Structure 1
Amino acid sequence: MVFTAEHTPAEIVKVFPKASDLFKQHRIDFCCGGEKPLSQTFSTIEIDAAAVLSELNTAYDKWQNEDHEITDWDALSPAELIDHIVHTHHAYLNEELPALGQFVTKILRVHGKNHPHLEELHKSYNEFKVEMEKHMINEEQEVFPLINEYEKNPNSTLLQHIHEANGGLENEHETAGNLLKRMREITNGFEPPQDACRSYRITYSRLSDMETDTFQHVHLENNILFKKL
């Protein structure tokens, strides 16, 4: 398979999961905006489209020759996907959000005077934290039970309720994605300054890990789970 500008990021990540790293590096949205062909993205940002496609296909060729375990997300039932999302991505955020918040606050308190951008990082992080906590509660208490019920007892009324609820979730995903993009901009791609202490570096590293996990989380919901309905 050769990827072209007519493929969407969501399609590519399904086939080649590590493409998410390349898309993140080039700031190409594969979760919230993952259904747009790459050609549309290339037309809106300053990027060498031919070089990106070449890098993508070279990495894919190399990846195909390696031993790795591939999960066929499309083969999972909605209930199985929900179980994975809750026990992997929700569990990660429930543990990481409060712990990482302490680090974000600590580096603001210690380094904020000399690094004023940390104040905006603190604000954006806490907005993201509140947004995702509410979002996960809504999913686990309202939307996911509806999807599980529909899988057992499919009917048009229930499906309509799910579609309406999913529209709200996708809007929340976009809000969270924009906050992550803003945090990446504020931190220069989560690159700590040369004089950064150990806590500063740990904070940026964990922010980067959280971004990666959240993008995969949203990709599984927007581009796989919701599409099954």
Structure 2
Amino acid sequence: METVFTRDTKVREIVIQVPRSDELFKQHKIDFCCGGNRPIHEALTEKGLHEETFLNELQSLFDQASEMKSLDSNDWTKESYSSIMDHVIHRHHGYLAEELPDLSFYVTKIYRVHGNTHPELGELHRLFHTLKMELEQHMVKEEQQIFPAIRQYDMNPGQQQRDIALSRIHELESEHEEAGSLLKQIRNVTSDFTLPSGACTTYKMTFKRLEELESDMFQHVHLENNILFPRLQEEAV
């Protein structure tokens, strides 16, 4: 079991290294931004929290993130349609459903706090929330319309279900391109997620999670554009 922190690791380092640890810190009212420059054991003592229990919770969050990453290394070209779609829904849609609202809070926070000295954060705020809206609508469309049609075809191959799925593939691919364009613009406006001098912990964490969002989207779109959709199109020939 890999561990990236100890009881002496500073709070601000943990919140950057351990995905979603910010939620745990917020739950227990532990300051991970301005007050994050101290060992985690000091913060836990101040709040009267049981150190071993809390560190185990942090380790669990880290292990869960590591496990999800390992799933992305599967050879999906050998999996069924349903297996691929289940993975997309549970791994990638599940991630987005949790991460987009969380990131919205932090993108807005750094814009509100640092926007006067870093005006590019206003454009980041606009781009991110455009992406958020489009991805949320895209996921609903996939889960309620496209994937059910492909799943029906997977269980009981038939021309009608295949035609329904095929009729919407170009629409989904176009939406993937738009999401990719927005991600590229986000990378450009942040100068490849380059942090300004003296960036606070929240600023660092927000940029790190935006870059992780980009990486997850690349894996997500790869599964659909390069594996799921082409297979369906080839079988229609």
Letter in 1 for 2:167: E
How far apart are the structure 1 equivalents of 2:94 and 2:159?
32
Partner of 2:39: none
TM-score by length of 2: 0.66
Matched, 1:100 2:103: yes
Query: What's the CA shift string for 1:24-58, capped at 9, x where partnerless?
Result: xxxxxxxxxxxxxxxxxxxxxxxxxxxxxxxxxxx
Letter in 1 for 2:121: L
Partner of 2:121: 118
Partner of 1:174: 177
How far apart are the structure 2 equivalents of 1:205 and 1:131?
21
Matched, 1:216 2:215: no
Matched, 1:147 2:157: no
Shift of the alpha carbon at 1:121?
Answer: 0.2
Matched, 1:202 2:210: no
Shift of the alpha carbon at 1:197?
Answer: 1.0
Letter in 1 for 2:147: F
1:193 to 166, 186, 196: 196
Two-structure CA RMSD over aligned residues (Å): 1.3
Asked which structure has the greater CA Rg, the reply is 2
How far apart are the structure 1 equivalents of 2:154 and 2:200?
51
Corresponding pairs, count: 162
- For 1:50-69, what aligned pairs fall within 5 Å after superposition? none
Partner of 2:130: 127
How far apart are the structure 2 equivalents of 1:143 and 1:107?
37
Query: What's the CA shift string for 1:93-135, capped at 9, x where partnerless?
Result: 0000000110000000000011000000000000000000000
Calculate percent identity across the aligned residue pairs.
48
Bigger shift: residues 110-119 or 154-163: 154-163
Letter in 2 for 1:80: S
How far apart are the structure 2 equivalents of 1:178 and 1:195?
29
TM-score by length of 1: 0.69
How far apart are the structure 2 equivalents of 1:210 and 1:72?
22
Matched, 1:87 2:94: no
Shift of the alpha carbon at 1:153?
Answer: 2.0
Bigger shift: residues 208-217 or 146-155: 146-155
Letter in 2 for 1:128: L
Where has structure 1 moved over 3 Å in runs of 4 or more? none
Shift of the alpha carbon at 1:195?
Answer: 2.2
Please list every run of 5 or more consecutive structure 1 residues that lacks an aligned counterpart in the other structure: 1-67
How far apart are the structure 1 equivalents of 2:117 and 2:198?
11
Partner of 2:192, secondary structure, is coil
Partner of 2:78: 75
Higher relative contact order (CA 8 A, sep 6+): 1
